[in-house]
Amino acid sequence: MFDILIANGHLLLAGAVVTLYLSAGAAAMAAVLGAGLALLQLFAFWPLRLLVEAYLYIMRGVPLLVLLFAMYYMLPYAGVNVNPTAGGMVVIALYFSAFMSEVFRGAILAVPKGQWDAARALGMFGRTMMVIVVAPQALRLAGPPFVNTCIMLVKGTSLVSIIGLLEVTMAGRQIVERTLAPFQIFTGVAVIYFLICYSLSVYGRYLERRTSYVH
């Protein structure tokens, strides 16, 4: 029954490599941008905070699919030609940075007030207090929700198939068009996504146990 899946498994695995590449690159960019946005939300002057809030509301309010269409179809009309792989990765990163920012902002605010007061009592202010006292604790607290956001990001990469990127979903569609075996092929696609996301879930639970143990 699954002979077709076995015969085309190498194509799905090649697509899975592209999915992992997109996910890793987008997650890294989203984490850096999200952390910066969180800091601006908390510590920047109010005009900059308003700009950040506007960006976050726009990104959360517009579907990722629409942003991908805009990058792929609208930018060329403006004379901007974007490589689909790089463009897809950047769009996914921009979209999920809005969610990452809440992860990091919540983690910073979750650091007990006593830690801030103790740092000030030791003469630490501004950047020094953030780097030495707040950031290490905030990063530990941000671990589990960060991993959960990465799981959503991995599943979000399936949408880049609409701009022609040969990730695992697009590979599955092409194989189905050739073999007319959607059940077998998309079962394989689902298993690949499940294995990636389940691995991240296990790691997220591990981080959650470590965080609970420290507290």
User: What average pLDDT does this structure show over 78-84?
Assistant: 80
Q: Which residue has the higher pLDDT, 58 or 128?
A: 58
Q: For the whole model, what pTM was predicted?
A: 0.90
pLDDT 10s digits, 149-202: 999 999 999 999 888 888 999 999 999 999 888 999 999 999 999 999 999 999
Computed over every residue of the chain, the mean pLDDT equals 89
Q: State in Å, rounded, how far the first CA of the chain is from the last one.
A: 51
Mean pLDDT of 11-28: 95
Q: What is the DSSP letter of 75?
A: G
- Domain map (residue ranges) of the chain: 3-103+136-214
pLDDT at 81 over 90: no
Residue 115 has pLDDT above 60, yes or no: yes
Higher pLDDT, 136 or 153: 153
Per-residue H/E/C for 21-57:
HHHHHHHHHHHHHHHHHHHHHHHCCHHHHHHHHHHHH
To the nearest whole percent, how much of the chain has pLDDT over 90?
58
Check pLDDT > 90 for residue 66. Answer: yes
- Look at residue 212 in the predicted model and tell me its pLDDT: 63
CA distance 53 to 42: 11
Residue pointed to by tokens 């983690």: 107
Instruction: Evaluate whether 88 touches 18 at the Cβ level (below 8 Å).
Output: no
- CATH class held by domain 3-103+136-214: mainly alpha
pLDDT tens digits, residue range 34-60? 999 999 999 888 899 999 999 999 999
